[in-house]
Amino acid sequence: MTDQILVLNAGSSSIKFALFDYDDTPVELARGQMSGIGVHPRLVVRQDATTARDEQFDHATIVDHHAALGIIIDDLHARLGDITIEVVGHRVVHGGAIHAAPAVIDDALVTELAGLCALAPLHQPHNLDGIAAARDHFPDALQVACFDTAFHRSHPWVADAFALPRALYDQGVRRYGFHGISYEYVSDALRQIDPAMAAGRVVIAHLGAGASMCAVHGGRSIDSTMGFTALDGLPMGTRCGQIDPGVILHLIQQRGMSAEAVTRLLYHDSGLLGLSGISSDMRDLEGSDSAAARQAIDYFVHHVRREIGALAAALGGLDALVFTAGIGENAAAIRAAVCRDMAWLGIALDGIRNTAGERLISGDGARVRVFVIPTDEEVMIARHAGRLLRAATP
C-alpha cells in the first residue's frame, strides 16, 4: 500500500511544501511554496521538474498559514485528483535537549515546543503556526515533528556546554546546533556515494542565507558551529554569527540599546547585509563592484576556512569536506576561495570540476575528498514521517 505524505516548512510569511507517495521510500509528486502570506501572496508549484503554476493572490484572501495551506491543498487536489494525506511531516527548528529523533505531535508536545520559542524566535513560532494549520486541515492524519537540533544530540559534553555555572547547563543553557535535518540528509547521501568517506571524518558546510558547519564522524554529529541559538558561528545573510558577548553588553550599557533593538540588529541587520550595506544575497555581492561587497565576501570566506580547521581538530583529522545549501551548491567561486591554499590540510580542488559543479570537485590524488551534494530536507522529513506512520499502523 502506498501512503501519501505532505511535508511542511512554515516560515514567518511562507510555507514550503512537498507531497510524496511513500512505500518504503518517498517518491515526489509535487513541491512548491506559498510566499508573501498576508502581504503579496504568491504560489509556485513544481511538478515533474517544471513550473506548473506561478500565481499571485489578493492579500486579503490569504492572511495566515491556515488560509495559505487551504490554497495549497486545493492546488494539489486539482493537479493530482483525489489525494489522501496519511501523515504530515513538519520541520521544527528547535527540539530542545530531549528530542534526539522525530516525534509524533500531540497537545503536550506542542506546549513543550512553544516553550522553546525564545531560543528560535525567527522560526519556532511560525513552525507551530504550520502545525496548527495542518492539524485543522488534516485532523485524522498523523502529525510528525522533525527537529533541526536532533542530529546534534550525539555531541560530547564538551561540545555542548558553555563555561558558565553548571546549573545553567542543567536548565538548558547549552549548545544545541541547527540545520540537523540537512546534515542528516547529506550524511545519508554521502553514504550512498562513498561509504568509506561517510564512515570517516567529514566536515559538512551548509552555506546559505542561514549558514553553519558540522563535524560528522561515522554519520554522527560531533560538533557544530551553531550553538544556543541560530545566531552563532558563521556570518549569514542577515545574522551576525560569532560575536564577543562583551559587544552585546556594550550596546546595552553604553549605547543604551534595548533588548529588542539588539535582537533586531543581530538577527536582521547584520551578516552579509550589515557588512556590505548592499544585500544579504551572495549572488548580489558577487555581482557588485563595491569594495564593501568584496569585504563581506572575504569575511564570509575567512570564517568558513577558520571553522574547517577548528572542526577538523575536533575530529582529529579530515577525510572529506562537503558543500551544500544555496551558496555551497551553486557558488563555485566561493568554494574555490574557501579551499584555496588548504593543501596543508589535504584539500586541493580541481578547478574544472568545481566550475562545472560536479559531485566530486577535489583533485586526483588529494588526501581529502571534496564533494558538492545538494541537500533535500523535505525528503529527509518524508522518510522519517513515513517510518513513524508505519510504526503507528497495526
Q: What is the pLDDT of residue 62?
A: 86
Q: How many residues can be counted in the chain? A: 394
Residues 6 or more apart in contact with residue 171 via CB below 8 angstroms: none
Class of the 3-147 domain? alpha beta
383: cell is 522518510
Cα–Cα distance, 321 to 319 (Å, whole number): 7
Torsion over CA: 289, 293, 297, 298 (sign):
positive
Bridging pattern class, strands 50-56 and 42-47: antiparallel
Q: Which of 75, 148, 223, 319 is catalytic?
A: 148
Domain ranges of the chain: 3-147, 194-372
Cα–Cα distance, 102 to 145 (Å, whole number): 6
Report how far apart, in Å, the C-alpha atoms of 261 and of each of 17, 119, 266 are.
33, 17, 9
Ramachandran class of 323: left when φ > 0, alpha when ψ lies in -120 to 50, beta otherwise: beta
Q: What is the pLDDT of residue 57?
A: 82
148 flagged as catalytic? yes
Cα-to-chain-centroid distance, residue 127: 13
Residues 6 or more apart in contact with residue 13 via CB below 8 angstroms: 35, 36, 37, 38, 39
Q: Which residue in 104, 5, 1 sits closest to 386, CA to CA?
A: 5
Would you give per-residue pLDDT tens digits along the chain (394 residues)?
468 999 999 998 899 999 999 888 899 999 999 999 988 899 999 887 776 778 888 767 788 899 999 999 998 998 888 889 999 999 999 999 999 999 999 999 999 999 999 888 888 999 999 999 999 999 999 999 999 999 999 999 999 999 999 999 999 999 999 999 999 999 999 999 999 999 999 999 999 999 999 999 999 999 999 999 999 999 999 999 999 999 999 999 999 999 999 999 999 999 999 999 999 999 999 999 999 999 999 999 999 999 999 999 999 999 999 999 999 999 999 999 999 999 999 999 999 999 999 999 999 999 999 999 999 999 999 999 999 999 987 7
What single DSSP character describes residue 360?
B
* Half-sphere exposure for 253 (CA within 13 Å, toward CB): 6
Write the CATH number of the domain with boundaries 194-372: 3.30.420.40
Three-state DSSP at 77 gives helix
Q: 7 with 32: CB under 8 angstroms?
A: no
* Encoded amino acid at 293, one letter: A
Instruction: Provide the whole-model pTM.
Output: 0.94
| H-only helix segments in 142-290 | 157-160, 166-170, 180-193, 195-198, 245-253, 259-268, 271-276, 282-286
Q: What is the pLDDT of residue 307?
A: 98
